[in-house]
């Protein structure tokens, strides 16, 4: 009987850990660090809902729903003190909701909840600021830190503003414009750029043109600084042309067949595009969400494509 009680007690202790997945990370320090005043910048990827605990130089992601959240960046000027004076939270980027649930006090962590209501994962960035000592008196306190950066325009607003700017291009007058893909550029230093692919149709003969576009957007004012359009065209095969749309469709069909062989049913493709990395223009990349049983999973995929024929050489699919 005593062994049974011990066993049940052990199960009860493990139950909270089983209910929420955790992912730990330690901060990277910049500029040598300063314990009494500083800043942390945290960037995570969320698909559903998660809470991020920050204590000192330690961070923990607790996944609440959806796919497991992941760290992208955790950079601080120094470890956050146990009782930080002048503590401030600022949401910087992300399409969903970021809320400070609890301030750090007496060694307890700062808790930030992120809720991403849309399908597919999204990158979220927020800053934590503090100034002054850890609750003690300072004869010569340092000047206050500058206010956190304000990004009044959300990802959805930036995307919509960029799409409007593309539609207003003089070369698109009299054409039907359809956006195949629009997203925030995820390359380093490019998070104020919106990029994507647009199809246009001109006149009665329905001649179609495929173009890549990019917009530099000021997230503080919502203004589009610049718009760049580059023809994608098709891929030559003698006197014929294999259109980009054919290449994308062939890759999508190959991915769909691969997932069906693995037992997945209904599928949706949040993104699909020609890879824009140097030397990778014969690759198609994207994401697919597929259902199996009562759940669904999100995958990254890539297809190597024969540009002369439009056929798919190989398909690679990995869970995110």
- pLDDT tens series, the chain, 320 aa: 555 544 444 444 444 444 455 789 999 888 655 556 788 999 999 998 999 999 999 999 999 988 899 999 999 888 988 888 888 888 888 888 888 888 898 888 999 999 888 878 888 999 898 885 433 333 344 444 444 444 556 777 888 888 888 888 766 666 777 887 788 876 666 778 888 888 777 655 555 677 788 888 887 777 888 888 777 655 443 434 456 777 888 888 889 888 888 888 888 888 888 877 767 778 888 888 888 887 888 899 999 888 777 788 889 999 88
pLDDT, residue 93, reads 82
Q: Which two tokens stand for residue 264?
A: 């997945």
Q: How far apart are the first and last CA of the chain?
A: 45
pLDDT, residue 43, reads 93
On whether both 120 and 24 belong to a single domain, the answer is yes
pLDDT, residue 114, reads 92
Please tell me the total number of residues recorded for the chain in this structure: 320
Give the CATH number for residue 296.
3.10.450
From 215, 232, 249, the end of a domain falls on 232
From 232, 260, 294, the end of a domain falls on 232
Q: Which two tokens stand for residue 261?
A: 């062989």
Of 139, 199, 146, 211, nearest to 175 (Cα)?
Answer: 199
Which alpha helices (DSSP H) does the chain contain, by range?
Answer: 2-19, 155-167, 244-261
Number of domains in the chain: 3
On whether both 112 and 30 belong to a single domain, the answer is yes
On whether both 222 and 245 belong to a single domain, the answer is no
Domain that holds residue 258: 240-319
């Amino acid at each position: 009987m005593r062994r049974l009680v011990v066993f049940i007690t052990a199960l009860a202790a493990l139950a909270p850990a089983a209910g929420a997945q955790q992912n730990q990370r330690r901060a990277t320090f910049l500029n040598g660090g300063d314990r009494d005043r500083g800043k942390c910048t945290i960037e995570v990827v969320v698909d559903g809902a998660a809470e991020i605990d920050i204590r000192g130089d330690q961070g923990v992601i607790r996944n609440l729903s959806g796919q497991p959240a992941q760290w992208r960046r955790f950079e601080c000027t120094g470890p956050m003190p146990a009782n930080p004076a002048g503590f401030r939270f600022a949401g910087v980027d992300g399409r969903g909701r970021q809320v400070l649930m609890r301030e750090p006090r007496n060694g307890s962590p700062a808790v930030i909840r992120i809720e991403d209501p849309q399908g597919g994962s999204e990158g979220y960035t927020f800053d934590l600021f503090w100034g002054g000592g850890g609750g003690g008196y300072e004869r010569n306190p340092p000047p206050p830190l500058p206010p956190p950066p304000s990004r009044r325009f959300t990802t959805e607003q930036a995307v919509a503003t960029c799409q409007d700017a593309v539609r207003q291009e003089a070369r698109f007058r009299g054409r039907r414009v359809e956006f195949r893909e629009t997203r925030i550029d995820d390359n380093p230093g490019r998070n104020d750029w919106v990029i994507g692919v647009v199809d246009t149709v001109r006149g009665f003969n329905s001649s179609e043109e495929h173009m890549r576009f990019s917009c530099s957007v000021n997230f503080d004012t919502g203004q589009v600084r610049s718009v760049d359009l580059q023809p994608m065209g098709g891929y030559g095969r003698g006197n014929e042309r294999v259109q980009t749309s054919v290449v994308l469709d062939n890759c999508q069909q190959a991915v769909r067949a691969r997932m069906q062989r693995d037992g997945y049913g209904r599928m949706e493709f949040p993104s699909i595009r020609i890879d824009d990395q140097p030397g990778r223009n014969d690759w198609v990349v994207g994401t697919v969400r597929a259902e199996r049983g009562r759940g669904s999973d999100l995958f990254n995929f890539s297809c190597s494509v024969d540009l002369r024929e439009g056929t798919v050489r190989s398909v690679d699919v990995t869970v995110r």
